[in-house]
Amino acid sequence: MSIVVLLSRDSLLLTQLQAAFARCAPQVQAVLADDPRALQARVAACWFPPAGSLGRLPGLQVIHSVAAGIDHLEHDPSCPDLPVCRVVDPGHRQGMTEYLRWAVIHYHRGFDRVLEQQREGLWERPLQRPARQFRVGVMGLGSLGGAIALDLAEAGYEVRGWARSAKRLAQVQTFAGLGELEPFLDGVELLINLLPLTAETRGILGRNTFSRLARGAALVNVGRGAHLDLDDLRQALASGQLRGALLDVFEQEPLPAGHPLWTTPGVSITPHMASAASHDCIAEQVADNLRRLHAGERLLNEVDRAQGY
- 108 with 8, same domain: the answer is no
Q: Specify if 77 maps to a domain.
A: yes
DSSP 193-227: E-PPP-TTTTT-BSHHHHHHSPTTEEEEE-S-GGG
Same domain, 53 and 180: no
Judge whether 303 lies within some domain.
no
Nearest alpha-carbon partner for 14 in 48, 40, 39: 48
Whether 48 and 196 map to the same domain: the answer is: no
Q: If phi over 0 gives left and psi between -120 and 50 gives alpha, with beta otherwise, what is residue 203?
A: left
Q: Residue 69: what pLDDT?
A: 84
Sequence-distant (6+) residues with CB within 8 A of 259 are none
Annotated catalytic residues are: 224, 272
Does 184 fall in a domain? yes
How many domains, the chain?
2
Q: Based on the domain organization, do 10 and 77 belong to the same domain?
A: yes
Residue 301 domain-assigned? no
Pair 15, 49 in one domain: yes
Q: Are residues 154 and 199 in the same domain?
A: yes
Same domain, 134 and 171: yes
Does any domain span residue 308?
no
From residue 145, alpha-carbon distances to 12, 60, 128, 276 in Å are 29, 33, 27, 15
Query: 108 and 79 in one domain?
Result: no
Residue 259 Cα distances to 116, 239, 255, angstroms: 21, 21, 7
Q: Is residue 300 part of a domain?
A: no
309 domain residue, yes or no: no
In a domain, 302, yes or no: no
Instruction: Show the low-confidence residues of the chain (pLDDT under 70).
Output: 1, 308-309
Indicate whether 14 and 124 sit together in one domain. Answer: no
Per DSSP, the three-state class of 55 is helix
Looking at residue 309, what is its pLDDT? 61
Same domain membership, residue 282 and residue 202 = no
* Domain containing residue 100: CATH number: 3.40.50.720
Question: No. of H helices and E strands in the chain?
Answer: 8, 12
Residue 22's alpha-carbon distances to 82, 118, 279, 296, in angstroms, are: 26, 47, 11, 24
**Domain co-membership, 115 together with 217:** yes
Q: Which domain holds residue 158?
A: 92-269
151 shares its domain with 265: yes
